[in-house]
Amino acid sequence: MIAHARQDAPDECCGVVLARDGAAVEVRAYENVYHSPLKFGIDGLALLKLNDEIDEKGLDIGAIYHSHTRTPPYPSQTDINFAAGWPGVEWIIVGLDRAGEATVRTYLIEDAHVREL
Ligand SMILES: [Zn+2]
């Protein structure tokens, strides 16, 4: 996740952590369709394919990750709004400072309430 964040900087990167029974089994990088340093998005068709795949394999989306390249690794209002569509999914944010040093934080965002894990 940190390597992906550095590779896509200054744009935000994004991806998911697939889980089985609450344990992470795979990190999957996705293209940020916005190619933006201010927001991220995953292609809708890619998400549909992912949904089919995790259903078939008995997996869950354990976490969604993305990077912040200009602000601290704390959920933005955009993130909080986005999280409303993904209940129970952890949010991992990789913050990169100007030197490329990473700070990684994980949150649960429920009913617009942010709790760091
Ligand atoms: Zn964000």
* Ligand 1 centroid from CA 107, angstroms: 11
Task: Provide the whole-model pTM.
Answer: 0.94
Instruction: Give me the domain span that covers residue 27.
Output: 2-116
- Mean pLDDT of all residues in 104-108: 98
For residue 68, the 8-state DSSP code is: E
Count of structural domains, the chain = 1
Angle made by CA atoms 55, 84, 102, in degrees to the nearest 5: 85
pLDDT tens digits for range 18-74: 999 989 999 999 999 999 999 999 999 999 999 999 999 999 999 999 999 999 999
Give the CATH number of the domain where residue 12 resides.
3.40.140.10
Q: Which pLDDT belongs to residue 57?
A: 96
What sections of the chain are H helices per DSSP?
2-8, 44-57, 77-83
* Ligand 1 centroid from CA 36, angstroms: 11
Joined together, the tokens standing for residue 50 give 């992912």
Q: Which pLDDT belongs to residue 18?
A: 98
Distance in Å from the first CA to the final CA of the chain: 17
Q: Which pLDDT belongs to residue 48?
A: 95
